[in-house]
Amino acid sequence: MSYTEVPGVNVPIRMWTDPATVEGAAMQQLRNITTLPWIKGLAVMPDVHLGKGATVGSVIAMKDAVCPAAVGVDIGCGMSAVKTSLTARDLPDNLSRLRSRIEAAIPVGRGLHRDPVDPARLHGFSATGWTSFWSRFAELAPEVKAKEERAMQQMGTLGSGNHFVEVCVDKSDSVWLMLHSGSRNIGKELAEHHIGVARSLPYNQGLVDRDLAVFIADTPQMAAYRRDLFWAQEYAKYNRAVMMTFFQEAFRKEVRRTKVEFGEVISCHHNYVAEETYEGMDLLVTRKGAIRAGSGDYGIIPGSMGTGSYIVRGLGNADAFNSASHGAGRKMSRSAAKRKYGVRDLEQQTRGVECRKDSGVVDEIPSAYKSIEKVMAQQTDLVEVVAELKQVVCVKG
Distance CA(185)–CA(67), nearest Å, equals 20
Q: Which residues contact 249 (CB under 8 A, 6 or more apart)?
A: 105, 123
Residue 250 is which amino acid? A
Give 385's strand partners: 312
Nearest to 185 by CA among 236, 226, 123, 119: 236
Query: Which positions are catalytic?
Result: 326
Distance CA(195)–CA(42), nearest Å, equals 21
Distance CA(367)–CA(24), nearest Å, equals 21
Distance CA(335)–CA(340), nearest Å, equals 9
Angstrom CA distances, 49 to 66, 135, 242, stand at 21, 38, 31
The number of beta carbons lying within 10 Å of the beta carbon of residue 204 is 17
Give 282's strand partners: 277
Instruction: Give me the count of residues in the chain.
Output: 397
CB pairs under 8 A, 24+ apart, for 137-141? 137/231, 139/227, 139/231, 140/190, 140/227, 140/228, 140/231, 141/190, 141/193, 141/194, 141/224, 141/228
Q: What is the DSSP string of 32-44?
A: HHTT-TTEEEEEE
